[in-house]
Amino acid sequence: MSENPPKVLITGASGQIGTELTHALQKRYGASQVIATDLRPQESGAKEDVQFYQLDVMDKEALTQLVKTHQVDTIYHLAALLSAVGEKVPHKAWDININGSLHVLEVARELNLKRVFIPSSIAAFGPSTPLDNTPQDTIQRPTTMYGVTKVAGELLAEYYFKRFGVDCRGVRFPGLISYTAPPGGGTTDYAVEIFHYALKGENYTCYLKEDTSLDMMYMPDALEGCIQLMEADSDKLKHRNAFNITAMHFTPAELTEAIRKHIPDFTCTYEPEEVRQGIADSWPNYMDDSAAREEWGWAPKYDLDMMVEDMIKNLRAQHQ
């Protein structure tokens, strides 16, 4: 960490990533250095040391004023509609995911902010992308509105860096697994939901086929990756944004078996849903993240068994 820690604003701070990233950044830089914002009001029972403001990223004037008031120099822009939700309201997904990002980039340009984080996703790929060991630089023809917005977001970030010098960075997240915040309407939500059913002693009905392989990551690794990239030496970054990062890849059947090592009676059945199965089939089985490893030292810690053990340990208290 530098001697002068950044003053950070997070959009979408009440979401799956934002909830935990807020506390991770507070721990790293100090509570006074982090401003959390979200369209939704702050939930009752939230930690009192969190500086929270209700903010709609579509309101550029309000975003600008908040950045000025708190002398923010770094934005983690997480506000977005995810894949499954985006297919239900594609126009809204485009508006929030693209125009919201454009507002953040414009504020960064106008106020000469130090750094911006705008994440992408494995959804930025498509059925014509190589499914195995998906390259960092490859064809991207997504078949969902969420994926389209992610590709456009990658290009916007690249444009603002080359045209205006905005230091915008990001990663292509795989499916994320967390015991703290609920999933937000993505295609990989099953990998969180399944634990709650297992701990309640109930059968889980998975909406994907049992052999659907997808890249996944445990939230502690995801948070570390975000912060590590944002603190990386700018001169060492060749790609700047949209880095492939991954930690593990597995199928619903493989996750079920890993859970059964701890909860032997757990059962899972499969009733694939057309929309989410179609989305999953268009995504990579696993990505090549060598660029992230080489350029800024990406190195995840959790594999499947370690993740499952930690999830069950932390979720068990919620089900007692």
Cβ within 8 Å of residue 248, ≥6 positions away: 215, 216, 217, 300, 302, 303, 304, 307
CA distance 53 to 202: 38
Residues 140, 201 within the same domain: no
In a domain, 296, yes or no: no
| CATH number, position 258 | 3.90.25
In a domain, 157, yes or no: yes
In a domain, 112, yes or no: yes
In a domain, 46, yes or no: yes
Residues 129, 257 within the same domain: no
In a domain, 187, yes or no: yes
Q: Are strands 74-77 and 115-117 parallel, antiparallel or unpaired?
A: parallel
Residues 182, 279 within the same domain: yes
In a domain, 37, yes or no: yes
Q: How many domains does the chain have?
A: 2
In a domain, 2, yes or no: no
Residue 307: per-residue pLDDT: 98
Residues 209, 222 within the same domain: no
Q: Are strands 214-218 and 248-250 parallel, antiparallel or unpaired?
A: antiparallel
Residue 182: per-residue pLDDT: 74
Residues 46, 133 within the same domain: yes
In a domain, 1, yes or no: no
Residues 189, 102 within the same domain: no
Residues 24, 150 within the same domain: yes
Residues 95, 121 within the same domain: yes
Report CA torsion sign: 170, 64, 184, 36: positive
Any idea which residues carry the catalytic annotation?
146
Residues 108, 49 within the same domain: yes
pLDDT beneath 70, residues of the chain: 1-3, 44-48
Residues 56, 133 within the same domain: yes
pLDDT in tens, 129-171: 999 999 999 999 999 999 999 999 999 999 999 999 999 999 9
| CATH number, position 234 | 3.40.50.720
Residues 53, 92 within the same domain: yes
List the domain range (segments joined by +) for residue 28: 8-175+217-244
Residues 71, 16 within the same domain: yes
